[in-house]
Structure 1
Amino acid sequence: MTLARTLRQALTIARRDFTATVFTPIFLLFLFAPLIMGAFGAVGGMGAASVAGSNSDRARVVAIVPDAAARPIAEADTRLRAVFRRDEEEPPALTTLTAGADPAAQARAAFAAKDYEASAVLYGPLATPTILYGPRGKRAADYLGVLAGQTLAAQQLGGALPRVTVTKMPFERPSGAAGGDGGYRQSASFAVFGVFLLNLFLASQVVGTMAEERNNKVIEVLAAAVPLESVFLGKLLGMFGVAILFVGFWGTIVAKLGSFLPPEAAAALALHTALPLPVFGVLFFVYFTMAYLLLGSAFLVVGALASTPREIQMLSLPISVIQMAMLALALAGTAHPDGTMGLAAQLFPLSSPFAMAGRAATSASLWQHGAAIAWQLLWVSLFIVIGARLFRRGVLQSGSAKPRWRRAKA
């Protein structure tokens, strides 16, 4: 009866917090925050791209060669550029200059040209060329070295290099082969980052709610009516409902947009997991829930103990630093999930949801997930109980300030 009554009281408070948060105009701003941030990021990216584009249009790689080598080097440049895809950065465009009496002076003068910006300049015999390059022109210098080799080979063969007809066929490496779990590890990293980013954005909302009700004395009214453990659990569940609404809204939009992707792009973005994708999706949601409850309970304690926005910022900073450390630990554990680092990440309570989300992508075993979820629920309960006691003794000034064993001794 006590557990049922505690859950009933917690659900009542959760419903109150959920409706008080969702049915407000400010919730729409929170719901569309990713779109607003994405718009600002797109504007900044377009500005940076325009600046970079204007600079790349003037960038050149320069080859100072005799007139007889001008055409072969241009043909070799065309062949080499066919290797680069659209999403890859090509070397700057090629400009050829006729070699004069002093090619070294010509190369130095090319860096001062007003018509273009030279990244790298080649001069001298193609067998032993000299290449000068600027501060960010080392890759362009490497390209000029390969270009000189291709041109020299074509000249020695008495014409263009022979053309090779290649048949390209996609092939998926079997999971049991050496290195076949590379796709699993990539999906594991995606799962770790997904759980982390969602919680980083959503779990911190609990702090403001708790601090606001503490300043308004509402929390004291609730604490007089129901146990503090029910208050803390109810607020955590209420804000988790808000997080589920947020994730469901944007998850539906992303899924709909994904259906319009070309088949090649959809195949490149597809997840490869050891477990079936529906099972992996369920476990991903469960570990997102566990991470939210763990971090949310920690933020809840921060909001309960802080009385001013400045105190909230000061107390939230260590939690954010710990989150980043847990992310690094979980990512390190995905590389060797059965090693010492992987086991440490799976056992430590704050990093366990992240590490186990990655484990769901690399391992087909299910019993480990059941044990991990029970372990994480234990720590959620401990955080809620400890937070309620800290709030009761530090803020409400109720309860004994001494531990039970010291009171018994007295």
Structure 2
Amino acid sequence: MSKFRRRLRQTLTIARRDFLATVFTPVFLLFLFAPVIMGSFGAIGGMGAASVAAGSADKERLVVIASDRDGIAILQADTKLRALFGEEARPPVVFVEQPTGDMLAQTRAALDSKGADVAAVMAGGLTLPHILHTPRGKRDARYLATLAEQAARAQRVGGDLSEPILIQAGRTTPSLGGRNASAFLAVFGIFFLTLFLSGQVVGTMAEERNNKVIEVLAAAVPLESVFLGKLLGMFGVAVLFVGFWGTIVSQIGALLPAGAAGGIANLAPAVGFGPFALLFVAYFTTAYLLLGSVFLGVGAQASTMREIQMLSLPITILQVAMFGLASAAASNPGSGIALLAEVFPLSSPFAMAGRAANSPALWPHVAALAWQFLWVAIFITVGARLFRRGVLQSGSARGAWTKLFSRSRTDLPQSH
């Protein structure tokens, strides 16, 4: 058996061992259904916030103090203009009141109404309307001013000026908005998956260091194979997780309403949906392996759960920083910051996934994937050597940085 085949067999043995040890445990079920728990809490909070917002929205209104003739013109203009707004952006309902005498007192009383949240009140006729509004009602006041203008025009000319004919036509090329949305979703999707899945790599060696299993493995298998095998084993767990939830989400997608399906259809990556899906999978793989190899090398220096927990914050900060850099690159394709994000190893998968949505060229992705796999090999090699020199030869459970600091103290000149 050749050296390469022997190394490959040893690596796959370690990967299978870690994969089975992780998957065939009751805790893995909690990990697998963690999105359900997170989604349940999010849904409960969202439903509560939505009910409060809906209750407040039902009590919002705009008041117009006008005669019967002007009131009818206002309501007709409101009916036409309100159809231009989306469900979430529509102004409050307009109510018309008859003048009672003192215009200022009636306007003030309408604004201070206790039975409803009145954002703006208009009085004084259509030609010179006076609009009183709350500090947050400037937008609603402008809407009432527009209603007065449209109603005055309708009364002046006696009806509509034209009857437009609307013709729908689709684009033949991906839109800028569709490309940008696809780029952001690609960056965010890889960031979310790696944030949720790659952090578990940090603690994979702590338990085996404490029970001395790692010393047995290191004596039988090269450390590079141990590191790569553990990384592939945890990546197999991540693939199982993504495959499980990807299957569920794909079935739920068929039940989406027509509006949501139309929104998804507007996403238009520049390389096309088929190549984009393949590149997304490839860049998720390289992002997981890159971040996982770094986390595995750093986490291998930790010997206790306290040290692993202390590493969680810098790891999260690093992932968020890579997401921010890649998001800036996706928003500014072809810029200097985009080039930096595409070349820097840890942000390269995120930025190149965004590039796939913005640019139709495919050859840069071949070079980028080769570049990223090269850095995976570098990180694994460096991590294994640090572990060999800083931990296995130390004779204790202290990390490499502890040994470094202790050496620094002994090198200081002693006072006599």
- 1-structure distance, mates of 2:219, 2:63: 80
* Other-structure match for 1:169: 168
- 2-structure distance, mates of 1:85, 1:289: 39
* Other-structure match for 2:252: 257
Deviation at 1:60? 0.9
What are the Cα deviations for residues 200-232 of structure 1, in whole angstroms up to 9, with x where unaligned? 111111123333333343333322322221111
* Other-structure match for 1:192: 187
- 2-structure distance, mates of 1:32, 1:138: 46
Deviation at 1:375? 0.9
- CA spacing shift, 1:55–1:4, aligned 2, 3 Å: same
- 2-structure distance, mates of 1:352, 1:251: 24
3-state SS, counterpart of residue 122 of structure 1: strand
- 2-structure distance, mates of 1:344, 1:311: 32
Tell me the C-alpha RMSD between the 2 structures. Answer: 2.3
Question: Contact 2:199/2:315 (CA < 8 Å) preserved in 1?
Answer: no
* Other-structure match for 1:405: none
Deviation at 1:263? 5.1
- 1-structure distance, mates of 2:221, 2:14: 10
Q: Tell me the number of residue pairs that the alignment of Structure 1 and Structure 2 aligns.
A: 396
**Which structure 2 residues correspond to residues 9-408 of structure 1 after superposition, within 5 A?**
9-86=10-87, 88-158=88-158, 160-162=159-161, 164-175=163-174, 180-262=175-257, 265-270=260-265, 271-398=267-394
Structure 1: which 5+ runs fail to align? 403-410
- CA spacing shift, 1:170–1:310, aligned 2, 3 Å: farther
Deviation at 1:338? 2.2
3-state SS, counterpart of residue 190 of structure 2: helix
- 1-structure distance, mates of 2:102, 2:219: 92
Deviation at 1:135? 3.9
What are the Cα deviations for residues 166-206 of structure 1, in whole angstroms up to 9, with x where unaligned? 3231321535xxxx444223212221111111111111111
- 2-structure distance, mates of 1:83, 1:10: 62
Deviation at 1:165? 4.2
3-state SS, counterpart of residue 61 of structure 2: strand
Deviation at 1:152? 1.5
Question: Contact 2:289/2:376 (CA < 8 Å) preserved in 1?
Answer: yes
3-state SS, counterpart of residue 115 of structure 2: coil
3-state SS, counterpart of residue 268 of structure 2: coil
Deviation at 1:10? 1.5
Question: Contact 1:302/1:312 (CA < 8 Å) preserved in 2?
Answer: no
- 1-structure distance, mates of 2:280, 2:152: 56
Q: Which amino acid aligns with 2:385?
A: R
- CA spacing shift, 1:132–1:214, aligned 2, 3 Å: farther
TM value normalised by structure 2: 0.88
- CA spacing shift, 1:250–1:225, aligned 2, 3 Å: same
- 1-structure distance, mates of 2:274, 2:162: 47
Structure 2: which 5+ runs fail to align? 405-416
What are the Cα deviations for residues 77-96 of structure 1, in whole angstroms up to 9, with x where unaligned? 1222222234x331111122
Deviation at 1:4? 2.9
- 2-structure distance, mates of 1:217, 1:102: 90
